[in-house]
A = this chain, B = another copy of it.
Amino acid sequence: MHVHHEQLEVRTKGKGLYEITDEVESKIEKCGIRNGAVTVFVQHTSCSIVIMENADRTARRDLEEFFNRLVPEDADYFTHGSEGSDDMPSHIRMVLTRTSETVPIADGKMQLGTWQGIFIFEHRRAPHRRKIFVTIIGL
């Protein structure tokens, strides 16, 4: 049984989804673990990790628009806003989604469905460097 850690850095350019499936897959191939599970964990509270359909860009655009309406930047009851009007909404969007995903690995491959991809869901408007900690446990 082995534990293998990797770190990824993703440069985001504003709100929306950024796919990291291939980066995670290549870390799994490199480490040689054939059966187990990978945990993909984002080390921030203003972006998320989500699994989302990876075929059609319109689905990602509609998702972004839904979240912009669900968590508007100008809610009059927000008191936390030292970093700007997208600060508090970014924390709420993160809590409504996920900080990590755990995906089974069999025969050296993540067992994602046909249309599933792993994405960073960026909630801030400005560009950011996002750190992702990847832990692979298995044999």
A5: nearest chain-B partner, CB-CB: B106
A3: nearest chain-B partner, CB-CB: B35
A116: nearest chain-B partner, CB-CB: B45
**Would you give the 0/1 interface string for A1-24, flagging 1 where the beta carbon is closer than 8 Å to chain B?**
101010000000000000000000
Does A71 count as interface, using CB distance less than 8 angstroms? yes
Does A25 count as interface, using CB distance less than 8 angstroms? no
Contacts of A75 in B (CB 8 A): 66
A66: nearest chain-B partner, CB-CB: B92
Interface centre among A5, A79, A95, A114 (most CB of B within 10 A): A95
Contacts of A108 in B (CB 8 A): none
Q: Identify whether the interface residues of A are mostly helix, strand, loop, or mixed.
A: mixed
Q: Are A91 and B52 in contact, with the CB atoms below 8 A?
A: yes
Interface residues of A in 21-69 (CB under 8 A from B): 35-37, 39, 41-46, 50-53, 56, 58-59, 61-63, 65-66, 69
19 example contacts (A-B, Cβ-Cβ < 8 A) are as follows A1-B139, A5-B104, A36-B135, A37-B137, A41-B103, A41-B111, A45-B53, A52-B91, A52-B94, A52-B95, A59-B80, A62-B78, A62-B80, A62-B92, A63-B91, A66-B75, A95-B97, A96-B97, A111-B133
**Chain B nearest CB, measured from A137 CB (Å):** 6
Interface residues of A in 90-121 (CB under 8 A from B): 91-92, 94-106, 111-116, 121
